[in-house]
């Protein structure tokens, strides 16, 4: 289980990964590389905020092996420029969390969106990166890719779409597709904790996500039962599988051994690089002149976040499965 | 929190609703009417299994008021015909949970799909029906409707689509749209427990659901940021709201006071009324001749289930909100 | 995990035992016998309320084997005489929960103490009885006995002490000692979830319990370190053990393979068979004339409750242990 | 809820305090002073390990006020001397956790006992110190004192008892008494989560604790019901209280507004400053020559730990109480 903490412009982001089995090899270089995939400035249209995101593991790993104890870690915030946020401390930015946090807590660290910043996902990536290494020893892999940016699903025109939006001071959303391979049959809690329900909660908790589907998804709702039936077969190696995979690797909330497939929809980045009308805390109209350093499209940076969350869910369920028998 | 139990052909389904506040008025007739909406045989294309689904509350309510103690309840199974399921005890039905449950537990009550039967949703409806009554005293309402059956979203042709599928021995899925009105701003846990993440988990845990989206959803991923911006306004009554609602009533994982909107995709019913090829537990090819009593389309019966799950999530978060300040 | 429900004078007590592994043999006769040990009227000084306490399992067990699904069960309340409690609906009985429940919930089912009645322990005994059967297949046994009644620890004089108290319209408490044998080394979560902390919480949650100690307990606090050192030895069979067992089978919160020993202190039954001064809900002085049917000493009836709670804790930790390695 | 992490000789100890209400004033100087009470070297017979234990709050507090977000914090380990522990990496120290951790995890950071070190309690004290400040604004105070060291309860002779034990290379345990004042009536979950059951779990989770009692405790088990009856009275200010407090401020698992009283038994420190017989990991007999820097008696250092744990439990239940009504 991951517990995380940190405000965007506080001293550090961090987390505690609890319940990780003992004796798992963790390659710290590999982990840092995985975390680096989430850093901005690596692809067109991403923020120029330059965080090195150096992972400091404070506990739970000794000589490259997990101890079974909680893995505490931090990632320092080193490039925060709070002055960019002076205006917003008194205004509500549209499609942001300023208003709702103020309503919930009555107090809000608006610098860089504070805890509401997508910077919190760095903790997910650290923890998920460790989970991924554990899963890989079990032959389980997770791979996410950007399958759509705005209306474009052809990767050759995606870069242009982003450049166009950027030149308009506008932003884009899109869809990430994720496939988990090598999951053994039998994982998932079949009523409230269906494997896809856990995956949905994990993915929907990523900032900007507005939709989730697995297997045939929303399109499956338009088909007849006879069109989406995954026929069981016995393979030559004696294992049981299905000829097609409309079920997305999960039946009745439990993995069936086929690839687990899902799609995650991200809304466009809410911060535009143009003047935007809004109101201040007293309800007076204002015009926002966004400064800060913001992404035009976060999809590519979100890939390791999606993979991390998938890994945490699958590893949890792999461990729970062990308790199904005495 | 709802804990539930029950196999389709066992003596009873039931549950325990824990943490319900004390002093809430529960109208048992209203509750029974709500539960009755889930019963089969009320609309075209639903099972002819005739369960009366009489709710027996065993604790937690006295003289029509909640005591603050756990509300234990059961609903007897009275019309189970286990003989219809003789064949499937040795075979795996496609798109069903037979295989995955066997893999997970090594033992499976296949009569009527046992615990994997959608009959388990009766417990959700009982508990959610109580939550709905609590919410209504707070001015919060939940309304779900069938917005799509198969490819049809025009309700005038939906009945025909179902009849056509039925005459072909085939089945249909569809989409349910749900709106929650009157939710105050400030509900939801903003990182892992975002309000829409909780709603997604709740909805995805309903049998047959393959997709979830809120607000603009998957369509929002195709739009530019400037097109989906919900501008803040101060209303005449002094409250703050938004001009549009692409955010679906939730920003940063926290309710903003606007209507919460979501769409839930259901796959077609997996049991066809025609011969279907499959394999038995030894992997030998078999032809399934489904008998039993099955729905062609479950969307209408699922409406109270969707409303119930929404109510449980909203009430939970309403209570948690009280702990945000000393 | 056990979830329970039920008020003393409602229709039934019950519970849901979740997470029980699949394929465990449950002997229902043995279970009923275990539950019967908790019934009143079997030893001197216990209530004459005559509940048959017939266990009805509603789910989770088929053909004598657990399915891995939630085990729902009820025990009907058949001998409730609510008229005995007319006076107390308006008064606070000393050392009872009347006042505190009223303060917490603002509403209280005072008939037979409602949910605050020790009758709730019947659900613990049902669930724990199943856990005990699972543990016995692993060679783990739990045995509790009354080691002290009032000031007496000699069982030959205990009956007389109870009879004396009864003739005085008074009541007695005492101490139950419990030993768990056969627990493998390595069970328990070593920081907040120390095995003895879990056992303490479980035992202290039993009605009337005022103290818990394990191993040397309070007496150990009076000894020097050199006097209570459990020296490690290698036994002839190659296993590692300790020469003495001041640690009570738990070191650093984790079982070490020795017998787990603990002692649980019960206060005297609060309801006296004599007039007692108190106040009513308006604070006016009243004299209570207890009627009802009450125990003089509950220690013997509490034995299966202690064993049940111990079994639930040990089984939980046995399962969690499986997740310590991939 | 507190999540903690850290091994004794790793880079840092730390934790995340989740669910703390927003807007609570935290005085960092006061917090540091509270944490300093736990440091060694302040009273006779405590370790000479010289940790400054500087609290670094990384999130959740801004300008001296809680934000409602997780409070992440670390305390660096600066004075670790791992070379003192060379021998024990291959041996099992009696009454320590070396053997049980090895059995549970198959891997163990034995330097300074790793995660099993009482050094983990520094995270409890940081989190509990914040909770205490929150409680004090509600008029709730927690006070613990050493009521017994070894066989001595006269504080004038306690220092001599410790000096004597130290000169013998021996150690002592004792009893801490703790009183919580100002708790309103109505706190605690009345069945499994009784307030005293939660307090018991919290206290029993502190290293070296072997016993817990509240109110009359084990002594109450020796009394007749008529001797320990806490008579209800209406006070002049109109509030309801009890004349005596054998119940220790808790009835039926719920606070009744009287002082909550409890006693916690600590075993003697396991590490003696003399040669001790044991075995190595292969089961061969060895003689341990303890070095390291160890306490003779930890009772005084444990006082803030007890107060911290009490504060965390009471604050949790104070918040939960808010959810008992709509």
pLDDT band (50, 70, 90) for residue A51:
confident
The HSE-up count of residue C48 (CA atoms within 13 Å, CB side) is: 4
Q: At residue D84, does pLDDT exceed 60?
A: no
Contact residues, chain A, for C321 at CB < 8 Å: none
CB spacing of C211 vs D218 below 8 angstroms: yes
Of A109-113, A164-168, A291-295, the range with the lowest mean pLDDT is A291-295
pLDDT mean over B119-131 = 98
pLDDT mean over C240-262 = 98
Q: Please state, for a pLDDT cut of 70, what percent of chain A lies above it.
A: 94
Q: At residue A134, does pLDDT exceed 70?
A: yes
**Residue D250: which residues within 8 A CB-CB, separation 6 or more?**
C100, D188, D194, D195, D196, D214, D215, D256, D260
C50: number of Cβ within 10 Å: 12
Selecting from D5, D58, D109 the residue whose C-beta is nearest the C-beta of A70 gives: D5
Name which residue leads in pLDDT, D295 or D316: D316
Contact residues, chain C, for A140 at CB < 8 Å: none
Confidence (pLDDT) at A294: 80
Selecting from A24, A324, A326 the residue whose C-beta is nearest the C-beta of C326 gives: A24
From residue B86, alpha-carbon distances to B63, B119, B291, C62, D145 in Å are 45, 19, 10, 16, 69
Say yes or no: C97 contacts chain D, CB-CB below 8 A: yes
Q: How far is D202 from chain B (nearest CA, A)?
A: 21
Handedness of CA A211, A214, A219, A221 (dihedral sign): negative
pLDDT mean over D150-178 = 94
Q: Please state, for a pLDDT cut of 90, what percent of chain D lies above it.
A: 87
Say yes or no: A249 contacts chain B, CB-CB below 8 A: no
Q: At residue B47, does pLDDT exceed 80?
A: no
From residue B307, alpha-carbon distances to B142, B172, B197, D64, D109 in Å are 6, 21, 16, 42, 51
Query: Among the residues of A117-256, which ranges form H helices?
Result: 121-136, 155-167, 195-204, 217-220
Selecting from D99, D103, D232 the residue whose C-beta is nearest the C-beta of C94 gives: D232
CB spacing of D68 vs B326 below 8 angstroms: no
Interface of D with B in 171-230 (CB under 8 A): none
Q: At residue B242, does pLDDT exceed 90?
A: yes
* Residues C10-62: tens digit of each pLDDT: 999 999 999 999 999 999 999 999 999 998 877 667 776 677 899 999 999 99
Contact residues, chain C, for D246 at CB < 8 Å: 95, 267
CB spacing of D58 vs A74 below 8 angstroms: yes
The mean predicted confidence, pLDDT, of chain C is: 94
Q: At residue B187, does pLDDT exceed 60?
A: yes
Contact residues, chain A, for B252 at CB < 8 Å: 96-97, 100-101, 116, 207
Selecting from C92, C101, C197 the residue whose C-beta is nearest the C-beta of D254 gives: C101
Say yes or no: C112 contacts chain B, CB-CB below 8 A: no
Name which residue leads in pLDDT, D96 or C292: D96
How far the first Cα of chain D sits from its last, in Å, is 23
Confidence (pLDDT) at B274: 93
Selecting from A92, A185, A250 the residue whose C-beta is nearest the C-beta of B103 gives: A185
Confidence (pLDDT) at A83: 58
Q: How far is B63 from chain A (nearest CA, A)?
A: 31
Q: At residue C292, does pLDDT exceed 90?
A: no
Contact residues, chain D, for B23 at CB < 8 Å: 325-326
Selecting from C12, C58, C109 the residue whose C-beta is nearest the C-beta of B10 gives: C58
Report how far Cα C219 is from the mean position of its chain's Cα atoms.
Answer: 23
Contact residues, chain A, for D22 at CB < 8 Å: 104-107
Confidence (pLDDT) at A82: 61
* Residues D258-271: tens digit of each pLDDT: 999 999 999 999 99
From residue C195, alpha-carbon distances to C138, D108, D193 in Å are 18, 18, 17
Selecting from D16, D67, D107 the residue whose C-beta is nearest the C-beta of A105 gives: D67
DSSP C120-173: GHHHHHHHHHHHHHHHHTTT-EEEEEEEEETTB--HHHHHHHHHHHHHTT--B-
Q: At residue B52, does pLDDT exceed 90?
A: no
Confidence (pLDDT) at C211: 98
CB spacing of D325 vs B134 below 8 angstroms: no
Looking at domain D2-321, its CATH superfamily turns out to be Chorismate synthase AroC (3.60.150.10)
Q: At residue D80, does pLDDT exceed 90?
A: no
Confidence (pLDDT) at A81: 63
Most D CBs within 10 A among B18, B253, B323, hence the mutation to make, goes to B323
Selecting from D100, D172, D213 the residue whose C-beta is nearest the C-beta of C255 gives: D100
* Residues A186-209: tens digit of each pLDDT: 999 999 999 999 999 999 999 999
Residue D213's beta-bridge partner residues?
C211, D263
What Rg, from alpha-carbon coordinates, does chain D have? 21
Contact residues, chain D, for B25 at CB < 8 Å: none
Contact residues, chain A, for B101 at CB < 8 Å: 190, 252, 254
Q: At residue A261, does pLDDT exceed 90?
A: yes
- Contact B52/B41 with Cβ under 8 angstroms? no
Chains that touch B (3 or more CB pairs under 8 A): A, C, D
Contact residues, chain B, for A265 at CB < 8 Å: 213, 217-218, 220-221
Say yes or no: A121 contacts chain B, CB-CB below 8 A: no
Angle at D320 between CA C206 and CA C121, to 5 degrees: 20
- Scanning every residue of chain A, which has its alpha carbon at the shortest distance from the alpha carbon of B97? A252
CB spacing of A97 vs B265 below 8 angstroms: no
* Residues D40-76: tens digit of each pLDDT: 877 667 776 677 899 999 999 999 999 999 999 999 9
Q: How far apart are CA A264 and CA A248, in angstroms?
A: 14
Q: How far apart are CA B179 and CA C127, in angstroms?
A: 40
DSSP B213-271: EETTHHHHTTSBGGGS---EEE-TTS-EEESS-TTTTEETTEE-SSPEEEEEEEPPPS-
Interface of A with C in 280-319 (CB under 8 A): 318-319
- Contact A20/A130 with Cβ under 8 angstroms? yes
pLDDT band (50, 70, 90) for residue A84:
low
* Residues B76-117: tens digit of each pLDDT: 998 766 655 556 568 999 999 999 999 999 998 888 889 999
Q: How many interface pairs between B and D have CB atoms less than 8 angstroms apart?
A: 40
Say yes or no: C105 contacts chain B, CB-CB below 8 A: yes
Greatest C-alpha distance within chain A: 71
Please name the residue that has the structure tokens 């004075």: D79
Selecting from C101, C247, C267 the residue whose C-beta is nearest the C-beta of D190 gives: C101
Name which residue leads in pLDDT, C322 or D86: C322
Confidence (pLDDT) at B104: 97
Confidence (pLDDT) at D51: 74
Name which residue leads in pLDDT, A112 or B50: A112
How far the first Cα of chain C sits from its last, in Å, is 23
The residues spanned by each domain of chain D are 2-321
- Scanning every residue of chain D, which has its alpha carbon at the shortest distance from the alpha carbon of C161? D224
Selecting from A196, A212, A224 the residue whose C-beta is nearest the C-beta of B165 gives: A224
Interface of D with B in 57-86 (CB under 8 A): 68
CB spacing of B225 vs A172 below 8 angstroms: yes
Chains that touch D (3 or more CB pairs under 8 A): A, B, C
ipTM of model: 0.96
Contact residues, chain C, for B3 at CB < 8 Å: 3, 16, 18, 70
Selecting from D101, D226, D256 the residue whose C-beta is nearest the C-beta of C170 gives: D226
Interface of A with B in 28-47 (CB under 8 A): none
Contact residues, chain D, for A12 at CB < 8 Å: 58-59, 72
- Contact B322/D323 with Cβ under 8 angstroms? yes
CB spacing of B59 vs C16 below 8 angstroms: no
Most C CBs within 10 A among B69, B78, B85, B109, hence the mutation to make, goes to B69
Name which residue leads in pLDDT, B316 or C82: B316
The mean predicted confidence, pLDDT, of chain D is: 94
């Amino acid at each position: 289980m991951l517990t995380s903490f940190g405000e965007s412009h506080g001293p550090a982001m961090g987390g505690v990964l609890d319940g990780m089995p003992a004796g798992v090899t963790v390659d710290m270089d590999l982990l840092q590389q995985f975390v680096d995939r989430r850093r901005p400035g690596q692809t067109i249209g991403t923020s120029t905020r330059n965080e090195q995101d150096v992972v400091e593991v404070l506990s739970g790993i000794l000589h490259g092996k997990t101890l079974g104890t909680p893995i505490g870690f931090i990632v320092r915030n080193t490039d925060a420029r709070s002055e960019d946020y002076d205006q917003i401390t008194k205004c509500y930015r549209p499609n942001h969390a300023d208003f709702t946090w103020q309503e919930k807590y009555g107090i809000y660290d608006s610098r860089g969106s504070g805890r509401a910043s997508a910077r919190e996902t760095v903790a997910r990536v650290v923890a998920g990166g460790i989970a991924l290494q554990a899963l890989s020893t079990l032959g389980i892999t997770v791979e996410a890719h950007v399958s759509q940016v705005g209306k474009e699903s052809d990767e050759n025109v995606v870069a242009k779409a982003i450049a166009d939006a950027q030149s308009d001071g506008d932003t884009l959303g899109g869809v990430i597709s994720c496939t988990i391979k090598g999951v053994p049959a039998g994982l998932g809690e079949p009523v409230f904790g269906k494997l896809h329900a856990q995956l949905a909660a994990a993915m929907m908790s990523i900032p900007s996500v507005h939709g989730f589907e697995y297997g045939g998804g929303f399109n499956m709702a338009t088909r007849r039962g006879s069109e989406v039936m995954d026929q069981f077969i016995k393979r030559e190696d004696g294992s049981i599988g299905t000829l097609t995979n409309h079920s997305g690797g999960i039946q009745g909330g439990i993995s069936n051994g086929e690839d687990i497939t899902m799609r995650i929809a991200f809304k466009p980045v809410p911060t535009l690089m143009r003047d935007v009308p809004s109101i201040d805390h007293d309800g007076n109209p204002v015009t926002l002149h966004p400064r800060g350093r913001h992404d035009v499209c976060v999809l590519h940076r979100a890939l390791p976040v999606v993979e991390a969350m998938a890994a945490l869910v699958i590893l949890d369920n792999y461990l729970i499965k062990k308790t199904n028998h005495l």
